[in-house]
Amino acid sequence: MKILFWLPQADATAWLDGLSRALPGAELRAWQPGDTAPADYAVVWHPPRELFATQPDLCAVFNLGAGVDAILALERESPGTLPRDALLVRLEDSGMAPQMAEYVQHAVLRYLRRFDEYTLQQARREWHVLAPHPLETFTVGVLGLGVLGAHVARAVASLGVPVRGFSRSAKTLDGIETFSGELRGPQFDAFLADVKVLVNLLPATPDTENVLDARTFGKLPSGAYLVNVARGAHLVEQDLVDALANGTLSAATLDVFNHEPLADDHPFWREPRITITPHSSALTLREEAISQVADKIEALARGETVSGIVNTARGY
């Protein structure tokens, strides 16, 4: 079996060594421009379009992350880029869910206990005790109840705050109030009412693009908080700036941006109520990812089905 590997800005050696230990019979190679030899599987993150140009026989493309928006954008921009019969398989958790839970728990606790405001006070050398927000009304709303969203919702509920979640299809999760339906529809608006901290864990698709906009912010209680750990394409940046300026939102924690790295002169850097991290809320862990991908390649090679297959029409 022949496997292509592509991971920009990383040393491919450790990945290829790990993959060859996990799949001893496989012929592995790091893809390079000009490489047109056929392969059975591709293991990639943010691949260039050219990688697929001479690979009509790929059985499956493994995405080294949960979100497949970058690969599907290639297909949307130029239909036929992805081999027609190849499965697209994304990472399912593989060590990302606990990282995401820690990140979101930290953001929620920080806002609940008003550390964001104490940081601003410290810069001004001010000593004022601020009453913490009441736990029982500090409702956290998680947008997207998939592999990561459901895990995060449960982790946040363990802090003792009320948690609700929104997904496309109906879900039941112990201890979580669930809503489902269309974004911007009546169930979405009902979900947003009372949400003090809105956490975004949706995939980036044509349906979810720009969902974090003035309309959505306006349905939250005044002075709510935003935590975006999904994709920059979900956020209308100017609407966030305006919402902070007019008090619709109190603060935001952003891990993802429309253009990464965030440009030096981006106004978000200068807004003290915006906390910025460099797309680091949940990193792809090498050993966990290799083990998941290798198990699935072996299963597919045996003719079995695997989980994590992307519905390319739906976009996730």
104 binds ligand NAP (CB under 6 A): no
Angle of helix 286-301 relative to helix 12-22, nearest 10 degrees, comes to 40
**144 lies in the site for ligand NAP, by CB under 6 A:** yes
270 is catalytic: no
Tell me if 47 contacts ligand NAP by CB under 6 A.
no
Q: How far is the CB of 210 from ligand GLV (least distance, A)?
A: 18
Minimum distance from residue 246 beta carbon to ligand NAP (Å): 27
Query: Strands of 2-6's sheet, edge to edge?
Result: 27-30, 2-6, 41-44, 60-63, 87-90
Residues that bind ligand GLV (CB under 6 A): 65-67, 284
CA geometry: angle 204, 209, 211, nearest 5 deg:
115
Q: Which of 52, 281, 296, 306 binds ligand NAP (CB under 6 A)?
A: 281
81 binds ligand NAP (CB under 6 A): no
Alpha-carbon distance 245 to 271, whole Å? 10
Q: Beta strand pairing status for 2-6 and 41-44? A: parallel
CB atoms within 10 A of CB 316: 20
168 binds, among ligand GLV, ligand NAP, none (CB under 5 to 8 A by kind): ligand NAP
Q: Does 204 bind ligand NAP (CB under 6 A)?
A: yes
Is 133 an annotated catalytic residue?
Answer: no
Sheet of 249-254: strand order equals 177-180, 163-167, 140-143, 197-200, 224-228, 249-254, 274-276
Residue numbers at the binding site for ligand NAP (CB under 6 A): 66-67, 96, 144-149, 167-169, 183, 201-205, 207-208, 229-231, 255-256, 279, 281-282, 316
Which residues have a catalytic role annotated? 231, 279
